[in-house]
Structure 1
């Protein structure tokens, strides 16, 4: 009896470790170990000979390659430009849609369902669909232009238009994501404040800019943070629409990383690129967190 009580006491004292242990082991195997291995890869030159990996410790080679990589600098600029423009447009459109849909009384559920359809579609299907729509010969956009007497446009084959064309696709795809976040925030706003403003004679324009938007600032920060992180990692749409071309006009860091890893088979430099991208993402998160805390403190 005493032995049974001892075992029971032991289990009760260490119950949290029994429950958290498997998750901790899984976290170590799937997160910590790959990150440690990534650091070792970034400090090595990896070659393949006779079906074997040969690791040579060259800590400065990959770092110097990162500093000398002109394509990476172009890809980083394209990624930043893509993220800034697409997220800005998506935030404005998502906010406008959230306010408009929240203000209607009839068919609100149907409107919300229709608006979120793009974000539910697989990125591969979206890329294939828009590639057909952008087609120079039989795409719907050029069919419309020729129908009104204008010349067809090379939407994805022109260095001047390719990135803008990809941004349009991203805006169509991800504006519903921003809309969902902000719509939930708008629905949770205190209605008595808005009604009191109406009673005091405030116009709709004043209510939106002086009451609704200031109250939505924390939700807007969250939406912008999430969307910027996802935009910084964009890959599938660009890979399907332009593959980084023409030239390097739509080359982004994730696509460049893919080419280094799987086309050039330079695993060491690819690991260094991965660490650079992770560092940039963490830096953005820290800045965004400080900005969000500052905005939240001003409420």
Structure 2
């Protein structure tokens, strides 16, 4: 995908020369706009969100340094290339303080622009790759956390963990398990026609439908135990509260989660006061 460039230059000959003579595509860029000064450019920049701004430093109405300062605040990811006819320390120092990527002295050649664009493109590529790597790592971390949460909940259901172990692991996984009452429900997904071939797509859609019903309930945990069973763990203030919540949730699932080719068989155990008795409620279900 090409990066977007915007040009701001009050000298029309210079602006058109850059616009028409630079090989944008060959350097991995698309020209997304141009303007004669910073004041006119600013709303256009906010609308187009360019990856690179090429701007003259001395212009009427709003100069390149002021424009760069505003762009740095409002579009912090935009790279800035400043064109200057002034080989003076104060201008270069001001540009450095603003975090300008390139500072080119006029007269600027096409080769100068090409070289700067290639350097900026390489920097943008590195940043894009870093963002993609970070997104992938975050996704992997979230998936790992989700898997560990499900493993812990399954251990509770089958009685393979003590209350102390469960609470400690839950805290590590940012999972609030502490409550005064627990109830387990089992959802079996069965084909309307027992002789029909197993329809994994329909099964998957049904699981997704159940998950959508459950996901807004912070006191309900959903586990996919196997290809036949989903398990719900409900927690609440007391036994009556979890029974009422189960009845409400069951009605929602019956109304929203089923498919014409599948039926949902839902059963529950009785409320339990101890976290280690979650497995007993599961056995009852």
Q: TM-score, normalised by structure 1?
A: 0.24
Report the TM-score when normalising by structure 2.
Answer: 0.25
Q: Which has a greater percent of strand?
A: 2
Higher relative contact order, structure no. (Cα contacts within 8 Å, ≥ 6 residues apart): 1
Comparing both structures, which one devotes a greater share of its residues to helix? 1
